[in-house]
Copies of this chain bind each other. A is one copy, B any other.
Amino acid sequence: METQQPTQLAAGRLEIRPEEHAALVDGRPLSLTMRELQLLVTLAGHPQRIMTREELFAAVWGSQPRRDDRSVDVYVSRLRAKLGEALPETQLIHTHNGIGYRFSPDG
């Protein structure tokens, strides 16, 4: 069981405070939904690591995804949209075809 309680995660101008339910850019919180935040926390909690959809789903939804479930993709898309609004020209979440996604603190 991999439980982690980082009080703070940082990635350039982005700062994540899981216990405060907040993801800040320049000190200003983004309005993320619960799911979006959980997903971001999970990804950012494992920087530079390629995480499979299964891993992500398990961490955020707490169960196994159905076959052909696209929830993770949809939420990554929503998350990217909001991050992109606050941090244009920055690509924090990278796609790894056929595998999953990876969070890179440095763009």
Binding site for B on A (CB under 8 A): 20-22, 24, 27-29, 31, 33-34, 48-50, 52, 94, 96-99, 102, 104
Contacts and interface: CB of A to CB of B under 8 A. Distances in A.
A31 B104 contact: no
A98 B28 contact: no
A88 to B, nearest CB: 20
A28 to B, nearest CB: 6
B104 A21 contact: no
Nearest to A31: B96
B29 A50 contact: yes
Contact of A102 (B29, B33, B99, B104): B29
Contacts of A24: 48
A-B pairs, 10 with minimum CB distance: A21-B99, A34-B98, A22-B50, A21-B50, A29-B50, A27-B48, A28-B48, A20-B50, A33-B97, A29-B102
